Amino acid sequence: MNFYEKFGLSPLINASETYTNLGGSLMGARTLEAMRQAGEGFVDMHALTDAVCARAAALTRNEGAFITTGAAAGVILAACACLCGMNEALHDSIPDTSAFAHREILVYAGAYRDLIPYWRLIGLTGAIIVPVPPSIDAMRNAITPRTAGIFLFPGTLYEKDVPSCEETLAALADTGIPMVVDAAAQLPPATNLWRYTKELGAALAIFSGGKHLRGPQSTGLIVGRKDMIAACRLSACPHPRIGRAFKTGKEDLAGFITALELFLEEPEEDRYARQASLLEDLARRLSRNSEIQTEWVSEGRLGTHQPLLLVTLPEHRTAVACNRFTRACQPPIDIGIYPPECGMPENVIFLNAYNLKAHEVEAVAEAVLRYVDSASE
Ligand SMILES: *Cc1c(COP(=O)(O)O)cnc(C)c1O
């Protein structure tokens, strides 16, 4: 009996996204094996952390890197670095920042703030979050001697009516205020692992380990300036400070670094081609019903470079009802629903092969076909 079945749960087929609610992504065999090996013996954790973080920095072409328990933990540690720098007494005081000279962190007050409320986590550090009207001038004018940092959230959906991360980093570089990019889901392309920091000048950029990197779901990566990474580490485990609440174990470190190696070893075109071929197979199977239309896009909802198959269901069918139907199938299948903010017609679903195995394609196509054929209305 499969582990999930032992607990009365059906493993489901993921044709939608690297959603945390579904389990993120799947680790490769080499990643799982590295975790197993790491779990079989003790090690000097300081030395292991130093070694894998140095390797992560080298692989991502950054001065420094730190592996934490997720992008959300990365946001908190990056905020600590902005607030405290290398001052250990300040790291000890968090979350009481009342005596800090710089305790304000600026974020754009865009519509995205309700879509990705991760910016709220900055507040756990005791920082004062200052929402700034969405313009470069307003951001520049909001900078005062109390400003500790600026946090940016890239992605086409989040940057609607907000100056882009690129624009902001370029325009405000002269201010010297550390800018942090929460790029949790901004992969692929892999070049983003160094683009925000090395090319665009962000002090730190943060990535989720459990999404496209295919690491353990409970991992994340902070990359960037050496001094800022060192400052993040002062609030992190093993110090008994705020980051003690999100420590990475030896198995997580082993899994993450192996996943990062695998992600960067595989040519991006190969990864893209493998997904595209599964989606072609899906499109071919769906074409059995002439009322279903399929269309290719090469961009994810957040502007990432990945193939998606958009499927327009016949009128009066909806993505939401389709997902409800496919989730009730055996095995349950999650198909992609665009959030209302994307402005897609309600009868459009997206299919994503990132987490899909070749032998699952048939079940996905059959489930969608059966939904379309199911009782009219
Ligand atoms: C997914 C996501 C996070 C959280 O990532 P975890 O690795 O699950 O902690 C944070 N910020 C953004 C923008 C995200 O998309």
Output the residue whose Cα is nearest ligand 1's atom 13.
Answer: 184
C-alpha closest to that of 128 among 151, 105, 100? 105
C-alpha closest to that of 181 among 87, 111, 108, 254? 108
Q: How would you classify the pairing of strands 333-337 and 13-15?
A: parallel
How close is the Cα of 185 to the center of ligand 1, in Å?
7
CA dist., res. 113 & res. 107, Å (int): 9
How close is the Cα of 227 to the center of ligand 1, in Å?
24
C-alpha closest to that of 205 among 166, 157, 172? 166
CA dist., res. 245 & res. 233, Å (int): 13
**Tokens representing residue 302 in the block:** 């957040």
In sequence order, what are the residues at sequence separation of 6 or more whose Cβ sits closer than 8 angstroms to the Cβ of residue 333? Answer: 12, 13, 15, 326, 327, 363, 364, 367
pTM listed for this prediction: 0.96
Ligand 1: residues within 6 Å at CB?
20, 70-72, 116, 118, 153, 182, 184-185, 208, 210, 220
pLDDT along the chain (377 residues), means of 10: 92 96 97 98 97 98 98 98 98 98 95 82 98 97 98 88 95 98 96 98 98 98 98 96 97 98 97 97 97 94 92 96 97 95 94 97 98 79
How close is the Cα of 71 to the center of ligand 1, in Å?
5
Mutate to test the pocket of ligand 1, among 17, 122, 182, 206 (most ligand atoms within 8 A of CB): 182
Contact 317, 293 (CB under 8 A): no
Output the residue whose Cα is nearest ligand 1's atom 12.
Answer: 184
How close is the Cα of 261 to the center of ligand 1, in Å?
21
For 18-41, give the DSSP string. Answer: --GGGTS----HHHHHHHHHHTTS
Mutate to test the pocket of ligand 1, among 17, 20, 77, 165 (most ligand atoms within 8 A of CB): 20
Output the residue whose Cα is nearest ligand 1's atom 1.
Answer: 184
Contact 248, 208 (CB under 8 A): no
How close is the Cα of 17 to the center of ligand 1, in Å?
13
How close is the Cα of 23 to the center of ligand 1, in Å?
13
**Tokens representing residue 167 in the block:** 């624009």
| Burial category of 245 from C-beta neighbours within 10 Å (exposed 0-12, middle 13-18, buried 19 and up) | exposed
Give buried/exposed letters for 289-300 (b at 16+ CB in 10 A, else e): eeebbbeeeeeb
**153 CA closest ligand 1 atom index:** 13
Contact 236, 66 (CB under 8 A): yes
Confidence at residue 228, expressed as pLDDT on a 0 to 100 scale: 98
**209 CA closest ligand 1 atom index:** 7
Contact 83, 124 (CB under 8 A): no
**211 CA closest ligand 1 atom index:** 7
Confidence at residue 375, expressed as pLDDT on a 0 to 100 scale: 64
Length of the chain: 377
Contact 371, 326 (CB under 8 A): yes
Task: Identify the bridge partners of residue 221 per DSSP, sorted by sequence position.
Answer: 67, 207
The conformational region for residue 24 under phi > 0 = left, psi -120 to 50 = alpha, else beta, is: left
Dihedral (Cα; 206, 209, 213, 214), 10-degree rounding: -170
Distance of CA 38 to the CA centre of its chain: 25
Mutate to test the pocket of ligand 1, among 66, 114, 118 (most ligand atoms within 8 A of CB): 118
How close is the Cα of 92 to the center of ligand 1, in Å?
26
Confidence at residue 376, expressed as pLDDT on a 0 to 100 scale: 58
